[in-house]
Amino acid sequence: MTDLDDFRADTRAWLEANCPAEMREPLRSEADMCWGGRNWTFQSDAQQRWLEVMAERGWTVPDWPKDYGGGGLTPEQAIVVKEEMARIGARQPLYSFGISMLGPALLKFGTEEQKRHYLPQIARGEIRWCQGYSEPGAGSDLAGLQTKAEDKGDHWLVNGQKVWTSYADKADWIFCLVRTSSESKQGGISFLLFDMETPGVSTKPILLISGSSPFCETFFDDVKVPKDQVVGEVNKGWDVAKYLLGHEREMISGMGLGGGGSLGAAVKPADPLLRAEIAAFDVDALAFQAMSERFTAMWKAGEAHPASPSMMKYAGTELNKRRNELVIAAGGSDALEWDSERSKHGKAARDWLRSKGNSIEGGTSEVQLNIVAKHILRLPGA
Amino acid sequence: MLLTDDQKMLQETASSFLSEEGSIAKELRRWRDCECDDGFGHALWKQFAELGLTGIAIAESAGGMGLGATEAALVLEEIGRNLTPSPFLITATVAARAIEGTQHAERWYPAVLAGEAVLALAIDEGPRHAPEETALEAKRQGNGFVLNGRKQFVAQGSSADMIVTAARTSAGRDGITLFAVPTGTAEVENVTLADNSRAARLTFDNVALDADSVIGEVDGGWAPLARALNAGRAGAAAELVGVAAGASAMTFDYLRQRKQFGKLIGEFQALQHRAAHLYGEIEIARAAALKAAQLIDSGDERAELYVSVAKAKAAEVASLAVREGVQMHGGIGMTDEHDIGLFMKREAVLGEMFGDVYYHRNRVAELSGY
């Protein structure tokens, strides 16, 4: 038995003893996902217990250092935890932009005080974060953002507007890109953290074509932010933002499989031409799955090109859109029902419409292709 | 899914050997323009042997390297990148696997290891790949068999010293038997294909073979054939990834050099996005080919599924690479003088070999239960 085998056996036993049966059921809907935060209401005792025992062990973030609320595990051990959770169908105890996006940026760019203050709250699910990046005039051209933070000596004064802020209406804190200098486009941006309850912050949900409102417009009107809430250096926030976008793209690219498994086996297409298209999709999905495994291994080993998350994000999201198109095609008129119980309140149609945003949010497909052309292929003028 | 240090070393060896000795100018164009029968160089095949590569799949106890499909894939990607004509895929990986563990291995392995023998594999009987429908009849007669029927698309068949041939001895999948058919028995027509490789058409007109020519068991041909097909399909997928990589590298270079409208054409976003898309697709195809090879090597039950995924994906992507390659090169891409068209021809042949995109998509559907 190797150490890793021992670790696996221990992990298996611990999960068996501590993961509530209810938390081994597949998610029935988005409402079953636990996001934590100051205003979170647990759906059940089991959901609360599961988060608490996992956070206690540091396993909401198994590979973060123990000092910051993590499990202190090696990458190999963290994979074992993931595999053993998958083995019993255990739900993710906490969904969190703090874990997937802000945390890695703080680990890399934060001061020791910032890490000790913010990371354990993220790991325990006590603070729910949202991301303030896009603005009405700065979408694909993100660095053109105009939300201003003025240095008022003892605080920053923030004014402006963000858009596409995921769950801003439910979040406790925001990590936000602001303009602290107009002298340079990318070199005048800073990365600011602040409480969404600060006076002057307001949000307004945006109703999407899918009928849901995961995004908001967020307004800042003379918002006072303490000076020590900048991550990294003032005017060097673009480096933090780019690093964080890499993580976001990595996360979004993972959605390409839409829950995994063969699409054809799930929908059993009767029409031979549709079957052929679905078979072509399944080939691409399985090939992309191999790519995801290879990318993850190479990324961890430092062998992947720094711009490769853009390639993954592009391929994964385009694949997910295609999957949803085919689900709609295979479902026929059943898949067009919007409200019925029978259709799980229009799940197929709503998922299909929601998937259209995959290749827009986190940098459009076109922006990802620009990045690959410039940084990987080194094409001229790109 | 990372390569080991040994695998990286083999990749480097293959890369420098094939880019130096197996280049388009040194090999493909030379053998195409000399009107020789084989379409490849025996001297280069000897060099493969000196590096141990002809024995890549042969056990160490038999004098080979005893390596797996993953290592073969690394070599084949370099072969694809350089369009090197050679018997490596069919002789060293496919046929060597088909005769593994039989008396034919003892008979042929030494000559293969020395780079002196070429082996081939005869499966297809019509223009499309359908090994399950093998119809070439092998009837018992006395102590042996009499074969009647035909085969085609037998790569390097006319150069081969022995052809592993799938024949029907009874009905169904369990009714297939593999025979070691020596030269001078079946009638051989040497056919030149679009990429200048040779693929024989074989006619069996009452060809008598003795019982010793059976490979393995009578009616037991499916298992070794499936092993050989897995090796061939995964290998062809890897070679296709190399073809795609070679063609795209040439094309991306061209985008960085060619000027029109006073600009480098690589500055045009219409081309940048197509190039970036192609880059990603090649990475994905490589991951699929590697995954298929690794599953074969670990004896995983998903190997067959992933072999078909890899063959379908690699052929689709290589086809995209050569089509974009010729188009982005413009007029020069249509000339025989430029190498990009050679990639297009090789892709077409490899894409067809061991089943085309449609064959393997259908297989993925069937193996997935729909």
CA atoms within 13 A on the CB side of A262: 23
pLDDT at B87 over 50: yes
pLDDT at A258 over 70: no
Nearest CB neighbour to B291, from listed A290, A301, A373: A290
pLDDT tens digits for A91-144?
999 999 999 899 999 999 999 999 999 999 999 999 999 999 999 999 889 999
CA–CA separation, A105 vs A94, rounded Å? Answer: 19
- pLDDT at position A256: 47
Residue of A nearest to B309 (CA): A283
Matching residue, tokens 């297989």: B363
pLDDT tens digits for B312-335?
999 999 999 999 999 999 999 999
The token duo for A247 is 């993580």
Asked if residues B89 and B126 have their Cβ atoms less than 8 Å apart, the reply is no
Instruction: Quote the minimal CA–CA distance from B292 to chain A in Å.
Output: 9
Residue of A nearest to B253 (CA): A379
Looking at beta carbons, which residues of chain B come within 8 Å of A282?
361, 364-365, 368
Nearest CB neighbour to A293, from listed B1, B312, B362: B1
Cα angle A4, A9, A12 (rounded to 5 degrees) comes to 120
Identify the burial level of B293 via C-beta atoms within 10 angstroms of its C-beta, where 0-12 means exposed, 13-18 middle and 19 or more buried: buried
Looking at beta carbons, which residues of chain A come within 8 Å of B279?
311, 372, 376-377
Domains of chain A: 3-123 (1.10.540.10), 129-235 (2.40.110.10), 239-376 (1.20.140.10)
pLDDT at B273 over 60: yes
Residue of A nearest to B284 (CA): A291
pLDDT tens digits for A55-69?
999 999 999 999 999
Matching residue, tokens 């399909």: B233
Domains of chain B: 5-118 (1.10.540.10), 121-220 (2.40.110.10), 223-367 (1.20.140.10)
Contact criterion met (CB < 8 Å) for A287 and B309? yes
Asked if residues A50 and A20 have their Cβ atoms less than 8 Å apart, the reply is yes
Looking at beta carbons, which residues of chain A come within 8 Å of B365?
264, 275, 278-279, 282
What proportions of chain A, in percent to the nearest 5, are helix, strand and coil?
Answer: 50, 15, 35
pLDDT at A381 over 60: yes
Largest separation between any pair of C-alpha atoms in chain A: 70
CA–CA separation, B352 vs B157, rounded Å? Answer: 17
Asked if residues B73 and B131 have their Cβ atoms less than 8 Å apart, the reply is no
Choose from A268, A271, A291, A375 for mutation: most chain B CBs within 10 A: A291
Chain A residues at the B interface, defined by Cβ less than 8 Å, are 262, 264-265, 268-269, 275-276, 278-280, 282-284, 286-288, 290-291, 293-295, 297-298, 301, 303, 308, 311, 314-315, 366, 368-370, 372-373, 376-382
Residue A301 confidence class, pLDDT cut points 50, 70, 90? confident
CA–CA separation, B240 vs B87, rounded Å? Answer: 16
Asked if residues A299 and A261 have their Cβ atoms less than 8 Å apart, the reply is no
Looking at beta carbons, which residues of chain A come within 8 Å of B291?
290, 293-294
The token duo for B64 is 């080979």
Instruction: Quote the minimal CA–CA distance from B98 to chain A in Å.
Output: 27
Antiparallel, parallel or unpaired: β B162-168 and B176-182: antiparallel
Contact criterion met (CB < 8 Å) for A287 and B288? yes
Strand partners, B187: B203
Instruction: Quote the minimal CA–CA distance from B277 to chain A in Å.
Output: 7
Which is nearest to A61 in space by CA: A69, A52, A49? A69
Chain B residues at the A interface, defined by Cβ less than 8 Å, are 1-2, 252, 255-256, 263-264, 266-267, 269, 271-273, 275-277, 279-281, 283-285, 287-288, 290-291, 305-306, 308-310, 312-313, 316, 358, 360-362, 364-365, 368-370
Contact criterion met (CB < 8 Å) for B370 and A268? yes
Identify the burial level of A260 via C-beta atoms within 10 angstroms of its C-beta, where 0-12 means exposed, 13-18 middle and 19 or more buried: exposed
pLDDT tens digits for A184-227?
999 999 999 999 999 999 999 999 999 988 899 999 999 999 99
pLDDT tens digits for B149-201?
999 999 999 999 999 999 999 998 889 999 999 999 999 999 999 999 999 99
- pLDDT at position A26: 87
Nearest CB neighbour to A377, from listed B2, B276, B308: B276
CA–CA separation, A218 vs A279, rounded Å? Answer: 43
Which is nearest to B174 in space by CA: B212, B225, B140, B124? B225
Contact criterion met (CB < 8 Å) for B276 and A287? no
For residues B109-131, average pLDDT? 98
Strand partners, A359: none
Give the burial string for A203-242 (b: 16+ CB within 10 Å, else e): bebeeeebeeebbbbbbbeebebeeebbbbebbbbbbbbe
Identify the burial level of B327 via C-beta atoms within 10 angstroms of its C-beta, where 0-12 means exposed, 13-18 middle and 19 or more buried: middle
Reduce the DSSP state of residue A146 to 3 states and report it: coil
Asked if residues A160 and A148 have their Cβ atoms less than 8 Å apart, the reply is yes
Where is pLDDT greater, at A197 or A253?
A: A197
Q: What is the DSSP letter of A232?
A: S
Instruction: Note the ipTM here.
Output: 0.96
pLDDT at A240 over 60: yes
Where is pLDDT greater, at A351 or A29?
A: A351
Residue B228's CB is within 10 A of a number of other CB atoms, namely 28
CA–CA separation, A351 vs B300, rounded Å? Answer: 34
CA–CA separation, A139 vs B336, rounded Å? Answer: 47
Contact criterion met (CB < 8 Å) for B306 and A286? yes
For residues A30-37, average pLDDT? 90
pTM summary value: 0.90
Looking at beta carbons, which residues of chain B come within 8 Å of A370?
269, 272-273, 276
The catalytic residues of A are 248
Cβ-Cβ contacts under 8 Å between A and B: the total is 135
- pLDDT at position B210: 95
Asked if residues B215 and B293 have their Cβ atoms less than 8 Å apart, the reply is no
Helices (H), chain A: 3-18, 45-57, 75-87, 97, 103-109, 112-123, 237-253, 263-267, 272-300, 308-331, 347-355, 365-371
For residues A331-351, average pLDDT? 95
Sequential DSSP letters for B298-352: TT-TTHHHHHHHHHHHHHHHHHHHHHHHHHHHGGGGGSSSSSHHHHHHHHHHHHH
Identify the burial level of B142 via C-beta atoms within 10 angstroms of its C-beta, where 0-12 means exposed, 13-18 middle and 19 or more buried: exposed
- pLDDT at position A300: 81
pLDDT tens digits for A169-187?
999 999 999 999 999 999 9
Looking at beta carbons, which residues of chain B come within 8 Å of A279?
361-362, 364-365
Sequence-ordered list of residues with C-beta below 8 angstroms from that of B63, at least 6 positions apart, any chain: B55, B109, B110, B113
Which is nearest to B353 in space by CA: B156, B72, B159? B156
Q: Which of A242-246, A266-270, A309-313, B312-316 has the lowest mean pLDDT?
A: A242-246
Asked if residues B240 and B315 have their Cβ atoms less than 8 Å apart, the reply is yes
CA–CA separation, A347 vs A349, rounded Å? Answer: 6
pLDDT tens digits for A318-337?
999 999 999 999 999 999 99
CA–CA separation, B361 vs A277, rounded Å? Answer: 9
Reduce the DSSP state of residue A162 to 3 states and report it: strand
- pLDDT at position A253: 61
Choose from A318, A375, A377, A378 for mutation: most chain B CBs within 10 A: A377
Phi, psi of A128 (to 5 degrees): -100, 130
Share of residues in chain B with pLDDT > 70 (%): 100
Residue A382 confidence class, pLDDT cut points 50, 70, 90? low
CA–CA separation, B351 vs B364, rounded Å? Answer: 16
For residues B13-25, average pLDDT? 98
